[in-house]
Copies of this chain bind each other. A is one copy, B any other.
Amino acid sequence: MNQPTDAMDTNVLQRTSEHLSEKYSGIFSPETVERYVFESYTTLSRTAKVRTHLASTATHFADNRLRALGQSQGSIDSPVPQVLFVCVQNIGRSQIAAALLADHAGDQVEVRSAGSLPGSDLHPLVVEALDERGLDLSGAYPKPLTDDVVRAADYVITMGCGDACPVYPGKRYLDWGLTDPSDVDLDGVRSIVAEIDGNVRTLWAEIRG
């Protein structure tokens, strides 16, 4: 039990809750925001090995989830298509797909990713292979699939996570069969990135219509 760190985090999370309550004033109650912040923190704590920056990562996660929830309820504007990529650990495949689509589509889509059983850290070879393409994953982190991000999505793309994703009407669901980057070396990861890139380009063409 790392008591001092956790006690400090509680203070940070309390301030985060106040800050996000202002940001989402008129959309969500302060109680809802606080619940999102603290539950996001506890959820990430369960799988995070390194606890540095956990409070700021949880803040980002809670903010993103609140935005998704508001978008799904129509209380926050959602001017571009929302795309969600889901794999098992959210340390490889779904992170690759999210980074590539964001790169191709820029601000013409809003991209999220999640995992059914989130890992503790991004796959280092995945980070390296995307870095070779000029894509920076330093802000990315593994996170569990939550109901809010599924609801916000127009497109849900699953990769190896079985039935973990709730099915709601009015969304386009796709399932991509891909090799798990955890099973291969850097060259193998590069091939997986290339394969995902092909899928992502096809998806982006479909989204543009």
Q: Which residues of A contact B (CB under 8 A)?
A: 1-3, 6-7, 9-10, 29, 31-32, 35, 38-39, 41-43, 45-47, 51, 69, 116-117, 144-148, 150, 158, 163-169, 173, 175
Contacts and interface: CB of A to CB of B under 8 A. Distances in A.
A166 B41 contact: yes
Contact of A46 (B2, B69, B117): B117
A142 B8 CA distance: 30
A50 to B, nearest CB: 10
A46 B167 contact: no
A116 B32 contact: no
Contacts of A32: 29, 31-32, 35
Contacts of A9: 166
Contact of A175 (B1, B116, B150): B1
5 contacts: A38-B147, A39-B147, A45-B164, A45-B165, A46-B144
Contact of A43 (B41, B144, B158): B144
